[in-house]
Structure 1
Amino acid sequence: MAAIVFDLDGTLIDSAPDIHAVANALLAGEGRDPITLDETRRFIGNGAAVLVQRMRQARGIPDSEQARLFAAFMARYDTAVHLTEPYPGVPQALATLRASGHRLGVCTNKPHRPAMAVLAHLELDRFFETVLGGDSMAAHKPDPAPLHAAFNALGETALFYVGDSEVDAETAMRARVPFLLYGAGYRKASIEEMLATAVFANFDQLPGLIETLLTEAA
C-alpha cells in the first residue's frame, strides 16, 4: 500500500473562481480595477500572503497596505467555497484509492482553516487522514518539511506526491519522492519542464497509474 499526498488548489479542486471573487471584492473596495481569472490562477501557489502581494502589486497598491489587505482577504477566505468545484473524477478516484487500502493526505500552501472549509463543503474531507496547510508549520512548500510531516502521519513506505505546479514539483524533488503531475491544473511551465515521475490528464487514470508504479517498484 502507498501513502499518497495531494496538493489542493489546482490539483484536487478548481478554487480560482472563489479566490478571484474575494480578490476583486477587495480591489473594488480600494477603487482598483479587477484582476482576471487567468491572473488569479497565476497568483495561486505560494500561499495566501503571496497571492495578496501579487494581486496588490498588479494593481499598484503600495507595500504598506499588505498587512491590512491580507487580514481582509483572510476574513473572507473561510467562506469562499461556493464557486469551487472538484476536478472531474476526483471523488471517484479518491474513493477507489481508499478502497484499495492506500492512505491519503493533503499538503497545501492554502491556510489550514480555508483548506478544511472547502474540503468539508465539497465532502472530500472524509478521504484524508491528515491535512497540512501553509500555516500548519513554520515552513511551507517548496520547503519539503510539510510534505515529510504529511507522509510521517500516514506511515507507509511507498510514497507519492500529486500536484499541479512548479512549487509542487520543487517540493517533491527536495523531499526526494515521486511526483505525479496533474497536467490540467495551474502550472505555468510546460509539462516537459516539470520533471515529473508521471503525468496524468484525468483523475480516472490515477488509481491505475499508482498501481503500475507500485508494480514497477516491486
Structure 2
Amino acid sequence: MPARIVFDLDGTLVHSAPDIQAVANAVLAGEGAAALSLEETIGCIGSGAAIFVERMRALRGIGDAEQARLLESFIAQYESGVSLSTLFPGMRAALDGLAATGHRLGLCTNKPIAPTHALLRHFEMSDLFESVLGGDSLPVRKPDPEPLHAVLSGLGEGPALYVGDSEVDAETAARAGVPFVFFTEGYCHLPHDQITAAARFSEFAELPGLVARIHAGN
C-alpha cells in the first residue's frame, strides 16, 4: 500500500527565509526600526505569522501594543513574497519520484494559507499535493497534531510519514503518532541531536530510499 507523506514547507521544501526577511524588513522600515539579518529571520520562523511578528518585535524592542497593526501589515505583504525563495536542491525530483511510485503527498505548514498557495503556484507545485493546510486553516496550528491529522485524512488510508525541518515539526509528528523524517538543512532552532526522528537526511536524493525503508518496516 502506498504511503501518505506530508511535508512542511518553509525550510523543508523551500528556502523561503530571504522573502520572509524582505517582508519583515519592509514592515520594520515603516517603524523606523533596524532591518533583520537572515539569521535573525530564520530564528523567528516556524510557529506561524503571529509568533514571527512577536519575535520580530522583541528583537527590535517594539511594544506589544503594536502587535495587531504590525501583523496586519506583515500579512498584507506576505502573499507577494515569492521572488527571493529557492527550492532545496533535488527536492522536486524526489517528490516527483515519490508521486510517480504511488505515494500520496500532502502539505502541513504554519505559513498562512494564502502565501502558501502563492509559493506553490510560483514554483508550479500545486498539483503535487492532494491535501494542503496552512497555519490559519484551522483554529489550531502545529505543534497541535490536528492540522497533520486533517491533512492525512485528506489523503485517504495507508501508512503515514511527516517530513519537516524543525523542533515544531518533530513535536507535531510525535503528538500525532506519525513517524518523523528530519531534513537537517532547514530552520531548526535546536541542536540536531535533540530532534527525535525515524530517519534524517541532508540531501533530497536520500529521501525516496528512506521512505522505502520506513515503509517496509511498517
TM over 0.5, shorter chain: yes
What is the rounded CA distance, in whole Å, between the counterparts of 2:207 and 2:125 in structure 1?
17
2:199 aligned with 1:198, yes or no?
A: yes
The amino acid of 1:198's aligned partner reads A
CA deviation after TM superposition for structure 1 residue 126, in Å: 1.5
Amino acid across the alignment from 1:134: G
- 1:180-207 per-position Cα deviation (integer Å, ceiling 9, x unaligned): 0001000021221101110011111111
Q: Secondary structure of 1:196's match?
A: coil
RMSD: 0.7
Match of 2:126 in 1: 125
Hey, what's the Cα distance between the residues in 2 that align with 1:194 and 1:117?
30
What TM-score comes out, normalization by structure 2 length?
A: 0.98
Percent identity of paired positions between Structure 1 and Structure 2: 54
Cross-structure match for 1:69: 70
Aligned residue runs from structure 1 range 60-99, under 5 A: 60-99=61-100
Distance 1:199 1:190 in 2: 13
For 1:152, the equivalent position in structure 2 comes to 153
Q: How many residues align?
A: 217
Unaligned runs of 5+ in 1: none
Q: In 2, distance between residues paired with 1:35 and 1:53?
A: 13
Q: Which runs of 4+ in 1 moved over 4 A?
A: none
| CA–CA distance in structure 2, aligned partners of residues 183 and 214 of structure 1 | 21
Q: For the residues of structure 1 that align with 2:60 and 2:181, how far apart are their CA atoms? A: 35
1:1-218 equivalences in 2 (<5 Å) = 1-217=2-218
> Given the two structures, how large is their TM-score scaled by the length of structure 1?
0.98
Task: Tell me by how many angstroms 1:216 deviates.
Answer: 2.3
- The one-letter amino acid paired with 2:207 is L
Look up the equivalent residue of 2:159 and give its one-letter code.
Answer: A
Letter in 2 for 1:148: H
Higher mean C-alpha deviation, range 107-116 or range 204-213 = 204-213
Residues 69-88 of structure 1: per-residue CA shift (max 9 Å, x gap)? 00001110110000011111
The worse-fitting range, judged by mean Cα deviation, of 159-168 and 121-130 is 121-130
Gaps of 5+ in 2: none
In 1, the alpha carbon distance for the partners of 2:113 and 2:189 equals 24
Paired with 1:81 and 1:69, the residues of 2 have a C-alpha distance of 20
Secondary structure in 2 aligned to 1:83? coil
Whole-angstrom CA distance in 1 between matches of 2:152 and 2:120 = 19
CA distance in 2, matches of 1:65, 1:214: 48
CA distance in 2, matches of 1:150, 1:98: 16
Amino acid across the alignment from 1:150: V
**What is the deviation of 1:208?**
1.1
2:215 and 2:172 mapped to 1: Cα distance? 21
Q: In 1, Cα distance between the equivalents of 2:51 and 2:191?
A: 23
Alpha-carbon distance, 1:156 to partner: 2.5
